[in-house]
Amino acid sequence: MTAEVDRAALLAAAAFRQYATCPGEARARFLRTIADGIEALGDGLIDCVSRETALPAARIAGERARTCMQLRLFADIADQGKWNDERVDAADPARTPPRPRICSGLRPIGPAAVFAASNFPLAFSVAGGDTAAALAVGCPVVLKAHPAHPETSARVGGVVAAAVASCRLPAGTFSVVTGSAHEVGLSLVRHPLIKVGAFTGSLGGGLALWRAAQARDEPIPFFAEMGSVNPLFVFADALHKNAEAVATGLHASMTLGVGQFCTQPGLVFLVADDAAHAFLQRLATLVSATPCGAMLSETHAANYRGGVAGRVDTDGVRVLGRGEQADAGRAAGAVLLAVDAETFVTNPRLADEIFGPTTLMVTCASTADFVRCAEILPGQLTATIWCEGDADRDLLWTLEQKAGRIVFNGFPTGVEVGAATMHGGPYPATTDCRFTSVGTRALSRFVRPVAWQTPA
């Protein structure tokens, strides 16, 4: 266990009672102060994020707005006490046996370990959704900064620390721990004073942390969002009517942010006919004209290029289109691949995620193959159906068992922050399919029910 982790966990545990029991309006003021402070950093923050991540300024500005909106939305919930789900069962002394009076409500679990994501350096990082959700309900946060954007993390962490001081909250309400070694994160989730954890990132990283959380003497809830290939199913009637819209929209979705979204559509299923052939030619043309983009780091880019090379070398996989390519540094080029349904169902590795701007088109003999292919998919964050009229019932049922969000006649990139949002899904998309990491339901990961019973 590192000294930095131990100190942060001790401070968080010492702060827990005071922070958890302070009025909701005090936590709301804290979250709003953080949002104000992030905005006050101005263009300097945007320049810093862009320098560290290669993300464009417009994207970063939008992410900053989302981050501050989340903080203020969760502040409103804290202020109004809407998260605690208070319930009362009235006493009935005349019943045999007498029924006691029972009231219950949600209470914060305790100090939370939050892990910042590489691909969202603001919205899923130091003051992102996980941090805001935990703080809104009264859980002190120990934040593990991502090594890919250390200066960004320091600047935003400074804003949160200043808000702790100005709102006169206990020092351990929020802490940042740093370091690129895996042991830092593992020691944080293993610390006996940490009571809950949240993570957004890779399957390997999420599973390592989740397993450590479960192997403790006192296992704790650990919510890991670990990615998805986000299958998209295009029925012939929708393709015949909307071929150009689907092609341009799919191209934009698969290459958005150089494909570095957990909701990037990595698999597309369609019935092989003349319209599908023309559609694939059009999509290949769009992909071939795509310029190279800079990924978040050289490691991300190298992993992407290796993943694509391995898939291209797979029997039955063919290349439909390649954008501008590069073989070094952060640069990554879009690649469109194709395979037939028979090959797909016999090779489970073709359903693996490749983090970056590539999509595998699966050509099917009929729509019956849609259900057959969907049934072998692992858990997903999203699944999409393009169709005219009502969706196929068998496919819809199957996808409801596989994904947390079903998109109709659209594209999965972009996750709205709201009350009805679900950003989660069955394993391996997440470690617990009952919860979301986006939207107001995200707060429920950091609370537990407590009941108080008195005699009739």
Length of the chain: 456
In 167-291, where does DSSP find H-type helix?
Answer: 182-190, 203-215, 236-255, 274-288
Residue 277 and residue 284: Cα distance in Å, rounded? Answer: 11
Which of 22, 262, 373, 387 is catalytic? The answer is 262
Residues 290, 334: contact at Cβ < 8 Å? yes
CA dihedral 243, 244, 247, 252 (to 10 degrees): -150
Cα 434 from chain centroid (whole Å): 14
The residue behind tokens 């992993």 is 303
Residues 421, 438: contact at Cβ < 8 Å? yes
Residue 387's nearest CA partner among 234, 248, 232 is 234
Residue 307 and residue 312: Cα distance in Å, rounded? Answer: 9
Which of 139, 225, 364, 387 is catalytic? The answer is 225
416 is catalytic: no
Which residues, including other chains, have CB under 8 Å from residue 240's CB and lie 6 or more apart?
A: 275
Q: Compute the radius of gyration of the chain from its Cα atoms.
A: 24
Residues 74, 29: contact at Cβ < 8 Å? no
Residue 175 and residue 102: Cα distance in Å, rounded? Answer: 37
225 is catalytic: yes
Distances in Å between the Cα of 405 and the Cα atoms of 195, 228, 354 are 28, 12, 20
Q: Report, as residue numbers or ranges, the catalytic residues.
A: 225, 262
